Structures are given as structure tokens and as C-alpha cells.
């Protein structure tokens, strides 16, 4: 429809029925949505080698399988996040070809070899063993987005020496993702030791006055160390994604 309209405009110009300036003026006064060609390129992410992402939470296994099958035709890699054990089992039965990553509660389908495009290493640090699933989600996301990723787990602030013994590893990272529940203090300590961007991920680990991660979230937002930015509670994917963008700056 819009194509016709445009063609007619050009036609009139070519036939000298319309002056060029009149044609430009007409275009200028059309609201862009009438033109139909003001498409914003939403495939930019894909061209950069990012995977397509499916949020598993809130979707049924059969729906996820259908989406995966559709996506596979587009030749891009796929990351499915937030798959609980039950849904993963159901998905396995559906033979989608997905590879499951139990630790990260996620699944992937890698069609195009992952190329490392991030400049430096993304180091994912976590405070306690209960924070590991969120940390692994960050690791997997950053890996799928083309980064060299390393892990430094179980280095909470109550045993500060374990963190300090790994200062060289902290120093050699380009971007850090720091995952912690409870009081959420680890990002402050880490950011105080280095001069690199730190993305803090509060987790819902804890009980009582942790209020499902609120305590860690507030702690991280109020970090006394500059350079810390924060994502939503348990949002390992978001942290991995943001770190990937930072690692390409």
C-alpha cells in the first residue's frame, strides 16, 4: 500500500506532474507511520553475534519448544533462561536439540560457532554457594554473547581472605559481575579493590529480613564504593548482557 503510494509520487515526479520540492514537501508532511518504511533495524543485535533469548519463566515447555524450532530457522544461536528442573525435563522430552545447563537453569542451542568479540575477560564473582545459579546464568549469558568469562565463586565478605588471595584475578578482569545475597556487601569490597566496572547482582538468597533479596538490593544501591551499578534481584542474564555491552565499548 505504502509502496504504491510512494511509487505514484515518483511517477508524478518523473512525469513532471509534480515538482521535486513539492514531492519532498509531501513526504515531509506524512506522519512516518503512514510511510511504512521507517523500520528500525531490530536485527542489529543479531548481526553482532548475540543469541536470541527466550525467557523460560511463565512459558510452558511446549510453547518454548515451538519458539525454539521457529528460531532455529533464522540461523541464530539461542539462549533459554529460567528453566526450572521440571520444565527442563519436559523440554528434554520434546527433543528440541537444546543443550541443558543445569547449574544455570538454562539451555542453549549453538548453531554458529561462538566468536569472542569482547575485548577483555568478564569475571563473575559470587559470595556463597547458594548464589551460584544466578552467577552461572551470568556466565552462560556472557559466554553466549561472545566473551571470555572466568569464575571466582564462594568468596563472601565474612571470609575476606579468600577474596584477597584472588586479587590478581580481580585485577586482570576487564568487567566484573558480583553476585551476592543476604547483605549484598561483596560488590563494595570488590569495587574498592579495583578500577573496573562492577555490575552488582542481588540474589534472593537469605531468609527473614532479607525480604527475598530486598536487603541485598538496597545494600548494593547504597554501595560506598564508586563504580558499582546494579541490576534486578536474581537477574544474572541482565548482568551478563550488560557486561557484554561494556566489554565491547
Which of the residues 193 through 212 are near its own copies (CB under 8 A)? 193, 195-197, 199, 202, 204-212
Alpha-carbon distance 127 to 104, whole Å? 16
Which lies closer to its own copies via its Cβ, residue 101 or residue 234?
234
- Residues with Cβ < 8 Å from 9, sequence gap 6 or more? 18, 23, 26, 27
Q: Are 65 and 93 in contact (CB under 8 A)?
A: no
Site string for its own copies, 130-169 (x = CB under 8 A): x-------------------------xxxxxx--xxxxx-
Task: Provide the CA 241 distance to its chain's centre, in angstroms.
Answer: 3
Which lies closer to its own copies via its Cβ, residue 140 or residue 156?
156
Please count the residues of the chain: 249
CA atoms within 13 A on the CB side of 28: 6
Site string for its own copies, 44-83 (x = CB under 8 A): xx--x----x---xx-------------------------
**Among 6-14, 70-78, 87-95, 105-113, the segment contacting its own copies (CB under 8 A):** 6-14
16 lines the binding site for its own copies (CB under 8 A): yes
Least separation, in Å, of the C-beta of 146 and its own copies? 13
Binding footprint of its own copies, residue count (CB under 8 A):
108
Residue (of 224, 213, 141) closest to 177 by Cα position: 141
Q: Are 91 and 102 in contact (CB under 8 A)?
A: no
85 lines the binding site for its own copies (CB under 8 A): no
Amino acid at each position: 500500500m505504502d509502496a504504491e503510494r510512494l511509487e505514484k509520487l515518483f511517477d508524478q515526479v518523473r512525469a513532471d506532474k509534480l515538482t521535486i520540492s513539492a514531492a519532498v514537501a509531501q513526504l515531509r508532511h506524512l506522519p512516518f507511520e503512514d510511510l511504512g518504511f521507517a523500520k528500525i533495524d531490530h536485527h542489529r543485535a543479531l548481526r553482532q553475534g548475540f543469541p536470541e533469548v527466550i525467557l523460560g519463566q511463565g512459558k510452558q515447555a511446549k510453547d518454548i519448544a515451538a519458539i525454539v524450532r521457529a528460531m532455529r530457522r533464522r540461523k541464530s544461536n539461542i539462549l533459554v533462561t529460567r528453566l526450572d528442573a521440571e520444565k527442563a525435563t519436559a523440554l528434554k522430552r520434546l527433543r528440541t536439540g537444546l543443550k541443558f545447563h543445569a547449574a544455570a537453569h538454562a539451555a542453549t542451542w549453538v548453531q554458529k560457532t561462538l566468536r569472542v568479540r569482547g575485548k577483555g575477560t568478564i569475571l563473575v564473582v559470587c559470595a556463597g554457594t547458594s548464589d551460584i545459579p544466578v552467577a552461572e546464568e551470568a556466565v552462560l549469558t556472557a559466554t553466549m554473547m561472545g566473551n571470555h568469562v572466568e569464575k571466582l565463586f564462594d568468596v563472601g565478605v565474612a571470609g575476606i581472605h579468600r577474596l584477597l588471595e584472588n586479587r590478581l584475578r580481580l585485577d586482570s578482569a576487564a568487567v566484573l559481575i558480583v553476585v551476592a545475597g543476604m547483605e549484598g556487601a561483596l560488590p563494595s569490597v570488590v569495587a574498592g579493590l579495583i578500577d573496573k566496572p562492577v555490575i552488582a547482582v542481588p540474589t534472593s538468597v537469605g531468609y527473614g529480613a532479607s525480604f527475598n533479596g530486598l536487603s541485598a538490593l538496597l545494600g548494593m544501591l547504597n554501595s560506598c564504593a564508586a563504580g558499582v551499578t546494579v541490576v534486578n534481584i536474581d537477574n544474572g542474564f541482565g548482568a551478563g548482557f550488560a557486561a557484554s555491552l561494556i566489554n565491547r565499548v
